Structures are given as C-alpha cells and as structure tokens.
Amino acid sequence: MITRGQEHCLYVFPVAEFSRIYEQMRAAPVTSKVARDYMRVFLSGASNETPDKQGRVTVPQPLRDYAGLSKDCVVIGAGARLEVWDVQAWETYLAANETAFAEQSEEVLPGLI
C-alpha cells in the first residue's frame, strides 16, 4: 500500500501493516476534527499496488505529484514502512534535521542506544 506521508514523502506499507494502522484509525472518535482531517489525507491517497514480475511498483501520478517525484528518488527504511522522497527534498530535510538528530539525548528514546 502506498499513500501520502508527512513532509511530502510517500509511505509504503505491507498490506497487513496498513490494515493494522487503518483499524487504529477507525477507533478514533468521529467527533475529532484533527482525526478526521488526518484520515482524509492519509486514506484518500492510498493505493494498493502489486509488484510486477521484476519487482517494480507503479506509483500513481497523484502520489508522484504530491511527493514531487520526478527522475531521482530516495527510498529509505523507516521501521515498518518505506518512505519514498524526491532526492532534493530528502537532502533538504536531512540537512535541516541532522544537527537535532545528533544532539538528541537519551530521553527521546530511552535505552535505545
């Protein structure tokens, strides 16, 4: 499953993981505007894509437009999902966040490293 991610990247999930996330979203109160807004953006872009015989996946044009994907892309592992970024957007994001990443203390993720 491919859908809109945050920071204008694309999220790619195995179907089982996407289903798990969807079930958690369903538990959110319909009365929460923030939850409704997030679900609309996240779910309205979702596309179930099947790899071809060579393992390639087609990314629908609306999702390519959302992420600004053109010729060069970066695919990163992000836990239970992949993220697909335009190369320039990824480099800009990484440059803006590298210092904060390097300076994080253990309180962010206690006992991780």
Domains of the chain (ranges; CATH) run 2-103 (3.40.1550.20)
Q: Helices 15-26 and 33-44 meet at what angle, rounded to 10?
A: 160
Cα separation, 78 vs 90, in Å, equals 13
Instruction: Estimate to the nearest angstrom the gap between the alpha carbon of 59 and the chain centroid.
Output: 13
Q: What is the pLDDT of residues 5-57, one digit of tens each?
A: 999 999 999 999 999 999 999 999 989 999 999 999 999 989 999 999 999 99
Report which secondary-structure segment, H or E, holds 74.
strand 73-78
pTM: 0.86
107 has a pLDDT exceeding 80: no
Cβ atoms of 74 and 84 within 8 Å: the answer is yes
